[in-house]
Amino acid sequence: LAKTTQPISMDSYEGQEVNITCSHNNIATNDYITWYQQFPSQGPRFIIQGYKTKVTNEVASLFIPADRKSSTLSLPRVSLSDTAVYYCLVGAYSGNTPLVFGKGTRLSVIA
């Protein structure tokens, strides 16, 4: 299973764009990159997933370079409600091989 490395914490002011980078040097050919968001006292929830290049949805964008050894979650114009822990997972889930959560990045948005 590919291991991931993320910053432990980040701070940002409201209205700024936040980029959280995840390193996954030993990503395998069939691995996908998935990001989850977790608010205090709640379970994680899926926010975005990608394989290569760029993926965008209503919540975030995910940038993946050609070598796929890293990925960047981009949150446009964050608000106080984006304060959460963000997890990067890499893998191709199938049957009895669950993905591994790292410690995540704690994002604090300041007014």
Please say whether the beta carbons of 12 and 105 come within 8 A: no
Sequence-distant (6+) residues with CB within 8 A of 42 are: none
Residue 44 in tokens: 């994680």
CB closer to another protein, 42 vs 111: 42
Measured from the CB of residue 24, what is the shortest distance to another protein in angstroms?
Answer: 16
Dist CA 76 CA 90 (whole Å)? 23
CB closer to another protein, 81 vs 111: 81
CB closer to another protein, 55 vs 63: 55
* Residues at the interface with another protein (CB under 8 A): 30, 32, 34, 36, 41-46, 49, 87, 92-96, 98-104
